[in-house]
Chains A and B, each alone.
Chain A
């Protein structure tokens, strides 16, 4: 059991980060405020988790202007997607093991 847990990507230990990855995996891109609403977290909390995910290369930030308003949106990277998929498979295996 110990080595299976070791297998778990550190980034997915946090519920908020896993939530961010779930939303980004299901959408082409997502803006900060919608993410905040979906995950029901504070600005600071979300920003720090996003920064960590960006640093590890799982999330890409795209800054643009809509009219005069700056708009920041977030995208999942190819690496982030494969890590997320692996994590899902890992969870599914755990569930299967628990059942048998």
Chain B
């Protein structure tokens, strides 16, 4: 039977095991940064394509777009743009997270990863369906705020199984989404802040906290 080490080592090992077994710690901050950059590019694409300008992204612009019969094009473009952003951000996120796991010698798709993804997906899919319903009712101006709110709820739900920063990020997204649904018409700019700037900010914070030094944190993490 292997003998126990020093108390401080024992405590470190207990902490590491408790954390590793209940939280998804392979999530890389760079996933957030890349998702943020991709979101900003996507928002810029929408801005230039729709030729709305930040000041004009209000209800009138949406309705004038409808009246000018440009609506269906704009519609199609926005949906495609959003889906491309989602796909690219997800791929980049998976890439950086897999890389981090491999470097730490951890399995990526383990029981905590599964739990985290399931808990993330419940509010996220609900939000996705809700946005489709909003589009069906032609309530386009509420789509961007709704994506922020549901994404925030999804993050809070998933944060039980990963870093606590994700919870704070989720709260920020919800607050932003609520403001965005109040100040109707600035959807694109709030969306760019929520999915772009916040992702980059929290991604960098997590990257510097957990991935640059092995001294400050638990070396086993």
Contacts and interface: CB of A to CB of B under 8 A. Distances in A.
Interface string B16-36: 011111100000000000000
Interface string B133-166: 0000000000000000000000000000000000
Contact of B20 (A38, A88, A92): A38
Contacts, number: 59
Interface in A36-75: 37-39
Given A14-B2, A27-B22, A38 B17 contact: yes
B67 interface: no
A22 B17 contact: yes
A26 B2 CA distance: 23
Chain A CB within 10 A, most for which of B11, B21, B22: B21
A94 B2 CA distance: 20
Contacts of A88: 11, 14
A100 to B, nearest CB: 14
A16 B21 contact: no
B104 interface: no
Interface string A6-28: 00000011111011001101110
B7 A23 contact: no
Contacts of A25: 18
Contacts of A92: 7, 11
A39 B20 CA distance: 11
Contacts of A23: 17-18, 21
A15 B2 contact: yes
Contacts of A38: 17, 20-21
Given A14-B2, A15-B2, A15-B3, 11 more contacts: A15-B4, A15-B13, A19-B13, A22-B13, A22-B17, A23-B17, A25-B18, A26-B19, A91-B14, A95-B8, A98-B8
Interface of B: 1-5, 7-8, 10-11, 13-14, 17-22, 107, 110-111
